[in-house]
Amino acid sequence: MIDVSTRHVPYRYREGMSETRNRRTEEIMRATLELGQEIGYAKLSIEAVAARAGAGKHTIYRRWPSKGALFLDSLLSLNEPGLDYPDTGDIIADLRTQIRAAVDLLSGPPLGPLYQALVAEAQHDPQVAAALNERFITPQADKTVARLKKAREQGQLSPDFDLDLAMAILSGPLYFNVMITRQRLTHDYVDRVIDALFAGMGVRPPA
């Protein structure tokens, strides 16, 4: 009898696992990341991961339903706590700090290419897309929206400031340049996007 309630929960988050089993899981994810960096996600095979980890293929298939799910778990395990927002009271400075950090993490080496491959895989595999959204995209977006909302409540932004639209305008151009035009992202570019957004969306300089 399969425990349906935990079937789609990332394996290593389940309770009741032995110490050994947890270690085995970590080894497989480490092998996945190693091979991913060496040969790229496209050429990555579960057979190769199993060989590298010294594990049987069953041991992998028992934990993850697909290569994409394994890769997603492995990548996200590197960034457990997520990217948290500073709150200095200055919304623009805080956004700069946070988005610069996000850009450095997600577009540069060593994670950049792997994260791009994960987003690409999400286009083919609905399960990966859902998990990516649920476990990374949405939590991250929520943090941005929450920080913006607080600034709005403090009067730093106009009352009709559209939080979700601002979120998309902050993130969209960065993904666009990474995945479509393949330009390198700089801190200066991040600043220019933020400036363009606020100059137009009703920012009020703190009194």
Contact residues for a second copy, defined by CB under 8 A: 40-42, 116-117, 119-125, 129, 133, 137, 141, 162, 165-166, 168-169, 171-177, 179-182, 192-193, 196-201
Please report, as residue ranges, which positions from 7 to 66 form the binding site for DNA (by CB under 7 A): 18-21, 24, 43, 45-48, 53-59, 61-62, 66
Q: How far is the CB of 136 from DNA (least distance, A)?
A: 23
129 binds, among DNA, a second copy, none (CB under 5 to 8 A by kind): a second copy
**163 Cβ contact partners less than 8 Å away, ≥ 6 residues apart:** 145, 148, 149, 152
**58 Cβ contact partners less than 8 Å away, ≥ 6 residues apart:** none
Max Cα–Cα distance, the chain, nearest Å: 64
177 binds, among DNA, a second copy, none (CB under 5 to 8 A by kind): a second copy
Q: How far is the CB of 109 from DNA (least distance, A)?
A: 24
For residues 64 to 93, the per-residue mask of contacts with DNA, x marking binding by CB under 7 A and - elsewhere, is --xx--------------------------
Q: How far is the CB of 44 from a second copy (least distance, A)?
A: 11
Residue 28 vs 166, nearer CB to a second copy: 166
Q: How far apart are CA 67 and CA 55, in angstroms?
A: 15
Q: How many residues of this chain bind DNA (CB under 7 A)?
A: 21
Based on DSSP, count helices (H) and strands (E) in the chain, helices before strands: 10, 0
Residue 93: CB atoms within 10 A of its CB come to 12
- Entry field: residues in the chain: 207
Residue 43 vs 184, nearer CB to DNA: 43
Peptide bond into 205 cis (omega under 30): no
154 binds, among DNA, a second copy, none (CB under 5 to 8 A by kind): none
- CB hemisphere CA count around 120 (13 angstroms): 12
Q: How far is the CB of 205 from a second copy (least distance, A)?
A: 15
Question: Do 201 and 158 contact (CB within 8 A), yes or no?
Answer: yes
Q: How far is the CB of 13 from a second copy (least distance, A)?
A: 23
Q: How far apart are CA 20 and CA 74, in angstroms?
A: 18
Residue 124: CB atoms within 10 A of its CB come to 9
Which residues bind to DNA, rule: CB under 7 A?
18-21, 24, 43, 45-48, 53-59, 61-62, 66-67
